[in-house]
Amino acid sequence: MTARYGSTRSILIGTYDRAIAQYSAGDYKAALVSMSKVPPRTPWRLARLAGCHAQLGELKEAQRIMAEVKRIAPDYSPLEFAQTGIAFEHASDAEHLIAGVAKALAAYEDQG
């Protein structure tokens, strides 16, 4: 059973890494598919999904997902986490991620 858990965990880590690479390459649709396969649906993973939708111009879906983030973690700041909680080799990758999360958060805050 341990071998199976390790194997499943490796697959999930690989899927998460793939989603990060796809987002960084601007392939937001593929990043959505990959990130959607990674449980659990934590506030950060949801914020990344919202960022993908925002980058695709799907602002209603970005709003809906960001509302879920705020519902399950009202004090969590996805933008602050994007700015300080993730290490990237290249600053441009960090800025790209921050831009998507900021766009999703702005869509959420602008809904009315």
Cα–Cα distance, 85 to 96 (Å, whole number): 15
Other CB atoms closer than 10 Å to residue 11's CB: what's the count? Answer: 12
What is the model's pLDDT at position 60? Answer: 96
Mean pLDDT of the chain, nearest integer:
88
Q: Name the more confident of 30 and 10.
A: 30
Residue range 56-79: average pLDDT? 96
Average pLDDT of 87-106? 92
Three-class secondary structure of residue 58 per DSSP:
coil
Residue 2 has pLDDT above 80, yes or no: no
Torsion sign, CA atoms 70, 74, 76, 80? positive
CA pair distance 42, 26, nearest whole angstrom: 23
- What pLDDT is recorded for position 81? 92
**Residue 92: how many CA atoms within 13 Å on its side-chain side?**
4
